[in-house]
Structure 1
Amino acid sequence: MRTEGDTWDIVSSVGATALGVAAARALESEQPDALIRDDFAARFVTASGHEGMTRWLHEDSDRVESKLASTMIGLRSRFFDEHFRAAAADGVRQAVILAAGLDARAYRLDWPAGTTVFELDQPKVLEFKARVLDEHDAVPAARRHAIAIDLREDWPAALLDSGFDPGAPTAWTAEGLLPYLPGAAQEALFERVERLSAPGSRLALDSMSDLRDLDRMAEFQAEQLRGTPMAEIDLRELFYTDDRSAPETWFGARGWTAESLTVRELSARYGRALPEIPEVYETMFLGARFVAVAKPVTAPSA
């Protein structure tokens, strides 16, 4: 179970879910109508030495749950990619990726000249990521600063020490992060982002509105997905289900504009039909929301 101050590497606890997301991105990248292209994802999985994740890529890619993961993570990743592209098109040249995990956006997106990308995550996760990228001579497409820190610690100070400019508009993301935070930690995260955001900043995140079926999902994964990486991940031990504010409500109360999309709406936006979703997963997947909030350039009139 999660504990206060717990840590992880790339094959344990929360880190293993980041590896699973990388595997799903690798599977999606191989699709003829791929929603994203991530040439680094499979390299991370292979380098991890995780037998189940590696088998998922090379032997179990045709399983129903593999196609489901590929599509869901493909839609999610495309949403966050488009968030950064739109911000860049509007002249934003500072990006912060909270809980960066194994995504290589600093390398795989076409960043405009003069862009700085800050990545924050657990030290062992970023160490592994750096080793794999260095082994493949990867070169970032923007100035990149990796900040090894737990988001429950004073990450704003570390961000500022790394050259972050709180006076410049920022494109923030918190992808796949909120369920791993207690409600109080989520509130603190939002407060810090709001405080560090100059007018014109924007934040994209995803949120799960209903996690009541975690027990059923865990039982289903243990029995029906035996022998797959999914069976090894017990979300009951990783997610926090305490009460918290909806992100769009929290930021909306502070004057930010907000847009919230469902998985079905993302599917329609990006032209990818959803695969069949097992009934036990419907509440989690179809209840997920993809939220984009923006701090107005000018303060709203009284």
Structure 2
Amino acid sequence: MRSEGDTWDVVSRVGRTALFVAASRAAESKQADALIQDEFAALFVEGSGDPDTIRLINDPELWAQSSLSTGFIGLRSKFFDDHFLAAAGNGVRQAVILAAGLDARAYRLDWPLGMVVFEIDQLKVLEFKREVLTDVDATPKADRQDVVVDLREDWPSALIDAGFDPDVPTVWSAEGLLMYLPGAAQDALFARIDELSAPGSRMASDAVEIGDDFRMLAEQQAQQLRDTQVDLTELFYTDDRLDPAEWLTAQGWRAAIASSDELAERYGRPLTAGRDALGQLVNKIKYLSAVKQS
């Protein structure tokens, strides 16, 4: 179970979910009509030495049986890629990736000159990522800055110490993050983002609706999660929290919500019907995008 101040690396607890997301991005990149190209995703999986995840990316039949093969990671990754590139296209030159995990956008997106990308995560995750990318002589396409801090701690101070400038517009992402935070921590996260954001800043996040599908997932976990070896029901927080879109709107942001089906239509990639409780759950993810007006 989760506990206050718990830690992880890429093969344990919350960190392990990032590894499976990397496997999903690797699988998406192999599609003939791939929505993204992530040449680093498979390297992270292989570098982890985790046999379950390595088998998942090497065996197409095994991948097809996985709950993660519904296609939502391709849609999600494309949504956040477009979010960052749209902001950069509008002159934003500062990006913050909250709980960066095995995100390789600093290396694979075509950033404009002068772009600074801050990646916030726990020490072991960022160390592993740096080792894998160094081994292949990967060069970031932006000025990439690691910020080693837990999001439940005073991360704004660590971010500013790393060179972040709160007086210029910023593009933020909280991808695959909110369900792993207690309600109070999520609410504090958005309050801090608002405090650090100059007008013109942009924010994007995604969230799972915790309802009947989650309860079904908890009941079926022994069978349904055997392909991931990760019990999401022990990692997710289901306590009360503010609605981010409503809260941001009240603070002067212009917010919009898109459903998974709407993203699927936008990108011309129908979602595969969820074959189990996990698949049904992820197909109901909502995507938030917001721009700070004042």
TM score, norm. by length of structure 1: 0.93
Report SS of the residue matched to 1:81.
helix
2:260 partner letter:
V
Structure 2 residue aligned with 1:28 = 28
Number of positions where the alignment pairs a residue of Structure 1 with one of Structure 2: 294
Partner amino acid, structure 1, of 2:14: V
The offset of 1:250, in angstroms, is 1.0
1:293 is matched with 290
Equivalent residues in 2 for 1:4-43, closer than 5 Å: 4-43=4-43
SS in 1 for 2:78: helix
Shift of 1:117: 0.3
User: 1:255 touches 1:295 (CA, 8 Å); kept in 2?
Assistant: yes
Query: Structure 1 residues 204, 61: CA separation in 2 closer, same or farther (over 3 Å shift)?
Result: farther
Kept in 2, the 8 Å contact 1:202–1:294? The answer is: yes
Distance 1:62 1:236 in 2: 23
Residue 200 of structure 1 aligns with which residue? 200
Question: Could you tell me which residue of structure 2 aligns to residue 209 of structure 1?
Answer: 209
What is the CA–CA distance in structure 1 between the aligned matches of 2:232 and 2:225, rounded to whole Å? 14
Deviation of 1:75 after TM superposition, in Å, equals 0.4
2:67 and 2:274 in contact (8 A); partners too = no
Which residue of 1 is the match for residue 145 of structure 2?
145
| CA positional deviation for 1:34 | 0.4
Change (3 A) 1:145 1:61: farther
Residue 277 (structure 1) aligns with? 274
Q: For 2:79, give the aligned amino acid.
A: F
2:248 to 240, 243, 251: 251
Aligned-partner SS, 2:261:
helix
Contact 2:70 2:271 in 1 (8 A): no
Counterparts in 2 of 1:1-302, with a 5 A limit? 1-61=1-61, 63-66=63-66, 68-69=68-69, 71-224=71-224, 226=226, 228=227, 230=228, 232-281=229-278, 283-296=280-293, 299=294
Q: Secondary structure at the match of 1:146?
A: strand
| CA–CA distance in structure 2, aligned partners of residues 266 and 129 of structure 1 | 29
Deviations 1:97-140 (A, max 9, x none): 00000010000000000000000001000000000000000000
Shift of 1:225: 5.5
Question: In the aligned structure 1, how far is the partner of 2:65 from the partner of 2:184?
Answer: 33
Structure 2: state its 5+ residue gaps: none
Identical columns (%): 56
CA distance in 2, matches of 1:59, 1:241: 34
Tell whether the 8 Å contact from 1:25 to 1:70 is kept in structure 2 after alignment.
no
Give the drift of 1:179.
0.1
Instruction: After TM superposition, give the deviation of residue 209 of structure 1 in Å.
Output: 2.1
For each residue in 1:267-298, what CA deviation from the matched residue of structure 2 results, as whole angstroms up to 9, or x when unmatched? 000010111212524652233100001101xx
Asked if the contact 1:211/1:241 (under 8 Å) is kept, the reply is no
Amino acid at match of 2:74: G
Unaligned runs of 5+ in 1: none
